[in-house]
Homo-oligomer: A and B are copies of this chain.
Amino acid sequence: MALSPSRIEEVRSSFAAQGLMRHFQASLDEIEEGRSVISIPLSEVVTQQHGFFHGGVVGALADTACGYAALSMVPPGKAGLTAEYKINLISPADGDRLVAVGNVLKPGRMLMVCQGDVFIEKNGQRKKCAVALMTLFVMEGLSSI
């Protein structure tokens, strides 16, 4: 379902305020209720020792895509905080673009559980390279942590 313009603005502002995502040259490609897609190009700031995308980057992107998928369903005035995530790296992230898709599996009032699927693109071919599960905690505000 499409989000309201004000909620989209809120999500985009939050995304733009993330130094990490800016540094990664990340783009928020899609955002709708319960789902987001984020991607980043290969660059020297995201590599491990073999020149592939770093496993930590794959995890960070999955976490972020899940976070915004969840944030799209958090009631107005509340905030979301990643409680934990787990990621399995199933193929080397050897390519020129990394794409993370976050989907809310369970939109609870206090806890949201999301699945992240990460794909690596190389020469126009897309392959799944990681899968993640993430738990987000819905808060009254940052002071309630």
Contact = CB atoms under 8 A, between A and B. Distances in A.
A24 to B, nearest CB: 9
A49 B18 contact: yes
Nearest to A134: B88
Nearest to A145: B92
Chief secondary structure at chain A's binding surface:
mixed
Interface residues of A, number: 54
Given A47-B19, A60-B54, A83 B92 contact: no
A89 interface: yes
Interface of A: 14-15, 17-20, 22-23, 43-50, 54-57, 59-61, 63-64, 67, 81-92, 105-106, 108-111, 113, 115, 128, 131, 133, 135, 137, 142, 144-145
